[in-house]
Amino acid sequence: MSAIADRAVKSGGPALLFERPEPGRLRQAGVWTRPTGLLPGPGAAGVPVAMNLFGTERRMCLALGVERLEAAAARVRDLIELMKGPGPSGGGLLSKLSLLPKLQELAGIAPKVVRSGPVQEVVEEGAAVDLLRLPVITAWPGDAGPFITLAAVVTKDPETGARNAGIYRMQVLDGRTTAMHWQLHHGGAAVFRKAQALGRRLEAAAVLGGDPVSIYAASAPLPDGLDEFLFAGLLRGQAVELVRCCTVDLEVPAHAEIVLEGYVDPAEPLVEEGPYGDHTGFYSLADRYPAFHVTAVTRRRSPIYPTTIVGRPPMEDYQFGHATERIFLPLVQAVQSEIVDYHMPPEGVFNNLLFVAIEKRYPGQAYKVAAGLWGLGQMSLQKVIVVVDADVDVHNPAEAWWAALNHIDPERDVRFFPGPADVLDHASRAPGFGTKMVIDGTRKLPEEGHARPWPERIVMDPAVARAVAERWRELGLA
Ligand SMILES: Cc1cc2nc3c(=O)[nH]c(=O)nc-3n(C[C@H](O)[C@H](O)[C@H](O)COP(=O)(O)O)c2cc1C
pLDDT at 81: 85
Q: Give me the active site residues, please.
A: 278
**Ligand 1 atom having least distance to the Cα of 165:** 26
**Ligand 1 atom having least distance to the Cα of 377:** 25
Task: Give 23-60 pLDDT, tens digit per residue.
Answer: 665 555 555 454 444 444 555 558 999 999 999 999 99
How does DSSP classify residue 223? P
CB 229 within 8 A of CB 163: yes
Please state which of the ranges 55-69, 99-113, 120-134, 414-428 shows the lowest mean pLDDT.
Answer: 99-113
pLDDT (mean) for 452-475? 97
**Ligand 1 atom having least distance to the Cα of 189:** 27
| pLDDT at 307 exceeding the cut of 70 | yes
User: To 10 degrees, the CA torsion angle through 350, 353, 356, 361?
Assistant: 140
Question: Which residue's C-alpha comes closest to atom 13 of ligand 1?
Answer: 168
User: To 10 degrees, the CA torsion angle through 155, 217, 50, 114?
Assistant: 60
How many C-beta atoms lie closer than 10 Å to residue 143's C-beta?
A: 20
Q: Tell me the CA–centroid distance for residue 462 and ligand 1, in Å.
A: 48
Task: Give 347-374 pLDDT, tens digit per residue.
Answer: 999 999 999 999 999 999 999 999 999 9
CA distances (Å), 239 to each of 71, 233, 281, 419, in order?
18, 5, 37, 38
- For helices 212-219 and 57-64, give the axis angle rounded to 10 degrees: 110
Mutate to test the pocket of ligand 1, among 147, 167, 230, 324 (most ligand atoms within 8 A of CB): 167
Question: Which residue's C-alpha comes closest to atom 18 of ligand 1?
Answer: 219
Does ligand 1 come within 6 angstroms of the Cβ of 109? no
Euclidean distance between CA atoms 316 and 445, whole angstroms: 41
Residue 208 CA to its chain's centroid (Å): 16
pLDDT at 38: 44
Does ligand 1 come within 6 angstroms of the Cβ of 216? no
CB 112 within 8 A of CB 240: yes
Q: Tell me the CA–centroid distance for residue 244 and ligand 1, in Å.
A: 24
Euclidean distance between CA atoms 352 and 321, whole angstroms: 13
How does DSSP classify residue 91? B
Euclidean distance between CA atoms 402 and 349, whole angstroms: 21
Task: Give 396-437 pLDDT, tens digit per residue.
Answer: 999 999 999 999 999 999 999 999 999 999 999 999 999 999
Euclidean distance between CA atoms 466 and 390, whole angstroms: 26
CB 122 within 8 A of CB 112: no
Q: Tell me the CA–centroid distance for residue 113 and ligand 1, in Å.
A: 25
- For helices 57-64 and 316-335, give the axis angle rounded to 10 degrees: 70
Which own/partner pairs from 189-198 qualify as long-range (CB within 8 Å, at least 24 positions apart)? 190/224, 191/155, 191/156, 191/157, 191/158, 191/164, 192/155, 192/264, 192/266, 192/290, 194/157, 194/158, 194/159, 195/158, 195/264, 195/266, 196/266, 198/158, 198/159
Euclidean distance between CA atoms 161 and 182, whole angstroms: 19
Task: Give 228-268 pLDDT, tens digit per residue.
Answer: 999 999 999 999 999 999 999 999 999 999 999 999 999 99
How does DSSP classify residue 142? T
The pLDDT > 70 percentage for the chain reads 92
Domains with residue ranges and CATH for the chain = 2-306 (2.30.110.10), 336-448 (3.40.1670.10)
Does ligand 1 come within 6 angstroms of the Cβ of 300? no
Q: Tell me the CA–centroid distance for residue 166 and ligand 1, in Å.
A: 5
**Ligand 1 atom having least distance to the Cα of 169:** 8
Question: Which residue's C-alpha comes closest to atom 21 of ligand 1?
Answer: 221
CA end-to-end distance (rounded Å), the chain? 43
Question: Which residue's C-alpha comes closest to atom 7 of ligand 1?
Answer: 168
pLDDT (mean) for 140-151? 96
**Ligand 1 atom having least distance to the Cα of 164:** 26
pLDDT at 106: 78
For every residue of 143-178, DSSP letters joined together read -SS-EE-SEEEEEE-TTT--EEEEE--EEEEETTEE
Task: Give 147-197 pLDDT, tens digit per residue.
Answer: 999 999 999 999 999 999 999 999 999 999 999 999 999 999 999 999 999
Does ligand 1 come within 6 angstroms of the Cβ of 220? yes
pLDDT at 34: 46
pLDDT at 322: 98
Angle subtended at Cα 145 by Cα 203 and Cα 24, rounded to the nearest 5 degrees = 115
CA distances (Å), 354 to each of 382, 394, 401, 424, in order?
7, 9, 11, 17
Q: Tell me the CA–centroid distance for residue 167 and ligand 1, in Å.
A: 4
Q: Tell me the CA–centroid distance for residue 45 and ligand 1, in Å.
A: 31
pLDDT (mean) for 141-145? 95
- For helices 316-335 and 69-83, give the axis angle rounded to 10 degrees: 30
Q: Which residues contact residue 103 at a Cβ distance below 8 angstroms, ignoring those fewer than 6 apart? A: 82
